[in-house]
């Protein structure tokens, strides 16, 4: 069955804000029934996240304060694509080494997903790191403060049950790890 009866057609796109991470657009679209509607759209450069498990079968997580929610979250290492056209795989290597004491010998793409497609076009690439070792010489970004946390599968299950882990990308990655 064709999906053309679901498609909205962009008629106009007006920039409202352009920052370092996102651009905000107000778009006018034509709906499938011919009427027009307004869509507020956040344009994002894309990001990566990394599932890294050490030799003791513990997942590498980071605690980080997140200003929009005014709280500390427990997450897998992640970050935005910093350079226009940066290869997501290279970004994954960099983010793991910047946010944690670990480096990886390989990165395998597990999944790509949209983080909030109702209002944002951010595409996130989930990688699984292979051959990790605690030998990173990279520092975190100057505006980034993180704490590395290692959890076993049982500890992850408990953290999910008691809602210590609330970050979507982390829940996606860890559910796959727990089921694998």
- Per the structure block, which two tokens stand in for 40? 């507020």
- The 3-state secondary structure of 92-130 reads HHHHHHHHCCCECCEEEEEEEEECCCCCECCEEEEEEEE
Sorted by sequence, the CB contacts under 8 Å of residue 61 that are 6+ apart come out as 74, 75, 76, 77, 148, 149, 150, 151, 170
Q: List the Cα angle 179/107/100 in 5-degree steps.
A: 90
Greatest pairwise CA separation for the chain in angstroms: 58
- Is residue 63 within 8 A of residue 146, CB to CB? The reply is yes
Tell me the catalytic residues: 142
Tell me the C-alpha distance between 100 and 97, whole Å. 6
Which DSSP helix (H) or strand (E) runs through 39? strand 36-44
């Amino acid at each position: 069955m064709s999906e053309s009866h679901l498609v909205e057609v962009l008629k106009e796109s007006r920039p409202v804000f352009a920052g370092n991470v996102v651009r905000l657009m107000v778009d006018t679209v034509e709906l499938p029934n011919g009427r027009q509607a307004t869509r507020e759209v956040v344009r994002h450069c894309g990001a990566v996240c990394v599932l890294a498990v050490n030799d003791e079968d513990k997942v590498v997580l980071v605690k980080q304060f997140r200003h929009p929610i005014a709280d500390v979250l427990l997450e897998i290492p992640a970050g935005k694509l910093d350079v226009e056209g940066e290869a997501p795989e290279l970004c994954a290597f960099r983010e793991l080494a910047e946010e944690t004491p670990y480096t990886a010998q390989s990165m395998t793409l597990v999944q790509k997903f949209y983080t909030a497609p109702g209002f944002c076009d951010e595409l996130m690439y989930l990688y699984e790191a292979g051959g990790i070792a605690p030998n990173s010489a990279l520092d975190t970004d100057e505006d980034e403060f993180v704490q590395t946390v290692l959890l076993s599968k049982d500890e992850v299950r408990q953290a999910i049950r008691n809602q210590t882990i609330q970050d979507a990308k982390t829940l996606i990655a860890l559910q796959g790890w727990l089921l694998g």
